[in-house]
Amino acid sequence: MTETIPRPPLSACLFGVPGANLNLGVGALRAATLSGLLAREPAADVTVFDDGWGQRRGHTFVAGSPVPISLAGARHSRRYHRPESYLNMRISAALGGLGNAGLARIDAADVVLDVSGGDSFSDIYGEHRFRTVAWPKRLALLRRRPLVLLPQTYGPFRSARFRAEAAALVRGATMAWARDPESFAALADLLGPDLDPARHRQGVDVAFGLEPRVPDEPAYQRLTGWFEAASGPVAGINVSGLITRPEGRSRFGIAGDPHRVATRLCERLLDQSDTRVIIVPHVLTPNGTDDDRVASERLYAALAVRYGDRVALSPAGLDPHQTKWVIARTSWLCGMRMHATIAALSAGVPAAVVAYSDKARGVFTSVGQRRHVADARRLPDDDLLGALWESWTDRASSAAELALRTPVAVGRAAAQMDEFVAVARAERNRRGAVGAR
């Protein structure tokens, strides 16, 4: 009788999700990836590399229940003496490891997953951010670990040098996925004749697979009480601290004032007697230049004086799962953060996005909603308001379309997760076969 040798737990590392507790879009990428992986491999040893310090324990949620994970600091930092520094990891690798705990976790991984914050594999945010995104990919390839680039945006690249470096990293990856048709076209252009349909794939943003989760008390009672207080439609409003500040409008070439447009939109919605509005922040960086909370509280205060409890502000402290739960209960969402709108679309909720870059266009196209992309770079206030109002009035048609398209996108998110896990399982089996010789 042949004895069955038990397989060791699968080991995985996840990069590209720093600040997930502050940016709920990045948090959604992290949470959806971890819940998908651990649902398929409950015993997996998963390490999330974040912008903290040292080795720590953390948790994620799978089917609503907390599951332990490991956290490891990793930074493109000038503190070269710190083991969290990518350069320290690189030097440690050249010298046999030197007991660097982060490097040891990479070496132990059956797969290194990297999502680049969804849209940060580019040089448009500056060289420092490009280096931060490139470092984990370099380390994974240096240590000869299978690297899977999760569905993301590739480019744009202004520098020929950075573009060439990015192309080399993508060529070295075991798999590279794009999150929509336009992102895949950019990936194909980056790779040129090296595009391999078996390795270079078009998928969907992993956040399409994010599970909603009921908020904790007392937020749950307060929210359910508000949602159930009346039967009319509820419009969700996500107002961004990034493009509602003067410096943000200047940086991205915004044609008008999105905060003023959001205020006018809410007033127009609330002047319909049966409509209510809930404001949903998505980036929470206290004292940060792109904090949604400040802009949201400002909007709420302006509206509550006139409309009272027909206006609500989503409570602080909700995680990406819980924020999706809130958004899923709206009738329509106007979002200035792309992942706020993905939370809506993936729940079958009609949405419009106030876009400040091209990244949202591909995601909306992937579920047949491109007409609901309102480009704030070219639309002055009146035209932007008109585009958003048209989206609101078209919500029944959009809901019918999403009823057909959203399950397909969610199914694709699940299918691609199967493929990510398959890469890890294949490497685990290969290692096991080598060790058994």
Say how far apart CA 106 and CA 135 lie, in whole Å: 13
pLDDT at 431: 82
Say how far apart CA 242 and CA 114 lie, in whole Å: 25
Contact 69, 46 (CB under 8 A): yes
pLDDT for 37-65, tens place per residue? Answer: 999 999 999 999 998 898 999 999 999 99
The bridge status of strand 200-202 relative to strand 65-73 is unpaired
Report the b/e string of 181-204 with b at 16+ CB within 10 A: ebbbebbbebbeeebeeebbbbbb
Say how far apart CA 435 and CA 431 lie, in whole Å: 6
Number of neighbours of residue 261 by Cβ within 10 angstroms? 27
pLDDT at 6: 64
Say how far apart CA 120 and CA 126 lie, in whole Å: 10
Contact 205, 345 (CB under 8 A): no
The torsion angle over the Cα atoms of residues 362, 364, 367 and 371, rounded to 10 degrees, is -120
- Token pair for residue 186? 């950019």
Name residues of the chain where pLDDT drops below 70.
1-6, 434-437
pLDDT at 436: 56
Q: Which spans in 96-202 are helix H?
A: 101-108, 127-142, 160-172, 181-191
pLDDT for 303-314, tens place per residue? Answer: 999 999 999 999
Q: Phi and psi of 359, rounded to 5°?
A: -65, -35
Dihedral sign (CA 73, 78, 80, 82): negative
Say how far apart CA 178 and CA 309 lie, in whole Å: 42
Contact 367, 405 (CB under 8 A): yes
Q: What predicted TM-score, i.e. pTM, was given to this entire model?
A: 0.93
Q: How far apart are the first and last CA of the chain?
A: 19
What is the DSSP secondary structure assignment for residue 309, as one 8-state letter?
Answer: G
Say how far apart CA 237 and CA 249 lie, in whole Å: 19
Contact 200, 176 (CB under 8 A): yes
Say how far apart CA 297 and CA 237 lie, in whole Å: 12
Contact 76, 86 (CB under 8 A): yes
The bridge status of strand 175-178 relative to strand 55-62 is unpaired
The bridge status of strand 45-50 relative to strand 65-73 is parallel
pLDDT at 3: 47
With a CB cutoff of 8 Å and minimum separation 6, the contacts of 29 are 16, 17, 20, 115, 117, 118, 150, 205, 206, 207, 339
With a CB cutoff of 8 Å and minimum separation 6, the contacts of 119 are 152, 153, 338, 357, 359
Closest by CA position to 233, among listed 298, 310, 304: 310
DSSP element (H, E) containing 251: helix 246-252
Q: Phi and psi of 152, rounded to 5°?
A: -160, 180
Closest by CA position to 346, among listed 150, 183, 177, 204: 204
pLDDT at 5: 56
